[in-house]
Structure 1
Amino acid sequence: GPIIIVIGLSLATTAANDAMMKGTKYNLTYFGVAIFTLVMTLIFQMCFKGFTSLVSIMLGIVCGYALSCVLGIVDFSGVVKAAWFSMPALDVPGISYHFKWYPAAILTMAPIAFVTMTEHMGHIMVLNSLTKRNFFKNPGLHRTMMGDGLSTIIAGFIGGPPTTSYGENIGVLAMTKVHSVWVLAGAAVFAIVFSFVGKVAAVIESIPMPVIGGISFLLFGTIASNGLKILVDDKIDFGEKRNMLIASVILVIGIGGAYLQLGSFQLTSVALCTIFGMLMNWILPKQAASEKALEAEKKEKEQKYFN
């Protein structure tokens, strides 16, 4: 639960900066657009039903984009220059580049996979909570992690960015309540088709950051709220020292942004708090010594009373 809260709240600064900042300066117009986008999304989500409610995020983005156009903060130059049909920038092994052996690069990059793995596990935890299923068992964490890794390898071969599970997408699942694999696969097909339509890609790239920030307030917050929901549903007793200590350390390390730096390798706050949480869960006794003493004293008093 606390790790999922951290995953959501660790992105809060990103959402806030997208909503408020134009470059390095605070911009009131940007913040107004972000709040308008958020409010419209909430209205579509709460005041409508059926299909309109399901696509509330998209409608919120459209409203925010429209206001941005009116205020003149949308840059259409990329849309004008883009061709209707264009091939995505792909690299072809053996033609665009040739394989070379770089041990230093491998040693620098490979440990980062550990960070991705811990975040992947956190995201699967959120999905377990959202869908009321256990993906750790079926299809199994080893299979979901293998899919994550293989997709990144394939993307790297053809010049794409690393592909991993993203909190934003999980936030969309939480908001829409649509968890169908077929719907997600359909969205993937549309994304591939649109990548060949230059104008569509350019329009998406022209969406101002405050619009994204306004939506992110909701999406990232939804992830954190699901962490709280896990704690409530499982009736976690924070009167027990063990639970309080584990949650406290995870939350402060994760949200505080503490990280471990060893040369060029960095263990991010999310990964670090996950490791600390796991270690504390394994090492800390079920009961603190003071709690055992109080319990023993209580039993002794009860025994004397009954005697």
Structure 2
Amino acid sequence: MNEINTKGKLVLGLQHILAMFGATVLVPFLTGLNPSVALLSAGLGTLIFHACTKKIVPVFLGSSFAFIGAISLVLRENGIAEVKGGVIAAGLVYVLVSQLVRIFGVEKVKSFFPPIVVGPTIVVIGLRLSPTALSMAGYSNGIFDTRSLIVSGTVVICMVLVSLLGKSFFKLVPILLSVVIGYLVAMALGMVDFTPIREASWIGFSPEAWTSLTTVPKFSLTSVLAIAPIAFVVFIEHIGDITTNGAVVGKDFFANPGISRTLLGDGMATVVAGLLGGPANTTYGENTGVLAVTKVYDPAILRIAACYAIVLSFIGKFGVILQTIPTPVMGGISVILFGMIASVGMRTLIEYKVDFSISRNLIIASLILVLGIGINNITIWRTVSLSGLAIAALVGVTLNKFFPEDR
């Protein structure tokens, strides 16, 4: 590799991490986890994924949005130790599914999670988070806080404009641009405290990050059941991402290295993220967007982006800057993001042409939506509880098999 190629790859690697940076740090901010640890988890997870997939799949792994509700709930009620245990369990679910796919084939495993189950479940994930988004945006007891509304409203408008009117690379970084603009507006309104930034060291982790890294994982049945089952839903998303990635690159990654290997890579990366105290990892659609824009498909560039993420995680002042982002800034992002998650579920139903004139489909979707949104948690035995999302998914999978389509 000559010097020009090296510089070009370094620049492209930086472009990739910029495209995925906003989404990667948004998840820990919303859940209460540490953003520096999330960056470290994403970087190490991407390198692990590449090692598991023969280094031929151009993918970057970042924080999964699907786990936001479950992780924030477990962190609030049970602490970081049980979050780590739940995320590790989610990674092991990925690993289990990868082996089932290797043995039985992907179609057999997918039959348990058809669009009529996955679509409404994704809708539930987004809608369950909507009250949190509005609360962060400044809404409480029927009114909006004026300063918070100005900041969150600016962020929402920026995201809309960049997403709809932006061109080439800028269209791929609406979250990052919106956070920067929202941060500047919040600064002008006196909502940013710079004291922690001045006091932070340049190199090293903050005390909060060290707490996350050094806490021993704890496996409780309640936390595992709250977090781990979500991996079954994200498994379908993973297949879609790898399919799209292969279509853009012009290679069949189902044939080589195989979907079982990509799932294994996702699983092992999530296990490591759990050990560190980061959120569960997943393949990023923004990554595929950057590939389509640059037309450069070298997986080594994604590994360079991973190294950037690892280096950034060790810069102490950078991590503290992320923690000083005012809540309304992320609230504005969340209003659109959580709505988009629900919309993805609806898009799944539309793309697969699910027929709601069939009573079977109508009943399954109805039960998933009502149970998933209406139930917070149900105690099933002593201190063991199930979230509404887990109950809804379980009911959906069961009914789908109990009432087959040909009946």
| Same fold flag (TM > 0.5) | yes
Q: Is 2:231 aligned against 1:112?
A: no
Q: How does 1:135-150 map to 2 (within 5 A)?
A: 138-139=259-260, 143=264, 146-147=267-268, 150=271
Pairing partner for 2:275 from 133, 137, 154: 154
Shift in Å at residue 206 of structure 1?
Answer: 0.4
Please say which structure displays the higher CA radius of gyration. 1
Tell me the equivalent position of 2:357. 239
SS in 2 for 1:86: coil
**Structure 2 partner of 1:264:** 383
| 8 Å CA contact retained: 1:148, 1:163 | no
Q: Structure 1 residues 175 and 152 mapped into 2: Cα distance closer, same or farther (>3 Å)?
A: closer
- Tell me how far apart the structure 2 counterparts of residues 255 and 185 of structure 1 sit (CA, whole Å): 39
Residue identity opposite 2:385 in structure 1: Q
One-letter code aligned to 2:387? T
CA distance in 1, matches of 2:239, 2:341: 12
Output the CA distance in 2 between the equivalents of 1:273 and 1:211. Answer: 31
Once residues 86 and 131 of structure 1 are traced to their aligned partners in structure 2, the CA distance between those partners, rounded to angstroms, is 35
Extract unaligned runs of 5+ from structure 1: 156-160, 289-307
Gaps of 5+ in 2: 1-118, 245-252, 292-296
Q: Equivalent of 2:158, from 32, 35, 40?
A: 40
Indicate yes or no: 2:149 matched with 1:31. yes
| Whole-angstrom CA distance in 1 between matches of 2:265 and 2:393 | 19
1:282 and 2:401 are equivalent in the alignment: yes
SS of the aligned residue for 2:229 comes to helix
Aligned partners of 1:126 and 1:227 also within 8 Å = no
Alignment-mate amino acid for residue 215 of structure 1: I
Aligned pairs for 1:1-307 within 5 A: 1-20=119-138, 26-87=144-205, 89-90=209-210, 106=219, 109-110=220-221, 112-129=223-240, 132=243, 138-139=259-260, 143=264, 146-147=267-268, 150-152=271-273, 154-155=275-276, 161-165=277-281, 173=285, 177-178=289-290, 185-261=303-379, 262-284=381-403, 286=405
Distance in structure 1 (CA, Å) of the matches to 2:262 and 2:392: 20
* Bigger helix share: 2
Query: Are 1:129 and 1:226, in contact at CA under 8 Å, matched by a contact in 2?
Result: no
Q: Is residue 266–residue 281 contact of structure 2 (8 Å, CA) maintained in 1?
A: no
**% identical aligned pairs:** 29
Give me the CA root mean square deviation: 3.5
Counting matched residue pairs gives 269
Contact 1:240 1:287 in 2 (8 A): no
Q: What TM-score, normalized by structure 1, do the two folds share?
A: 0.74
One-letter amino acid matched to 2:341: I
Shift of 1:189: 2.7
CA distances 1:145-174 after superposition (whole Å, capped 9, x unpaired): 64255224532xxxxx253147xx86xx36
CA contact under 8 A between 2:222 and 2:383: conserved in structure 1? no
CA contact (8 A) 1:33 1:64 kept: yes
* Closer/same/farther in 2, CA of residues 186 and 222 from structure 1, 3 Å limit: farther
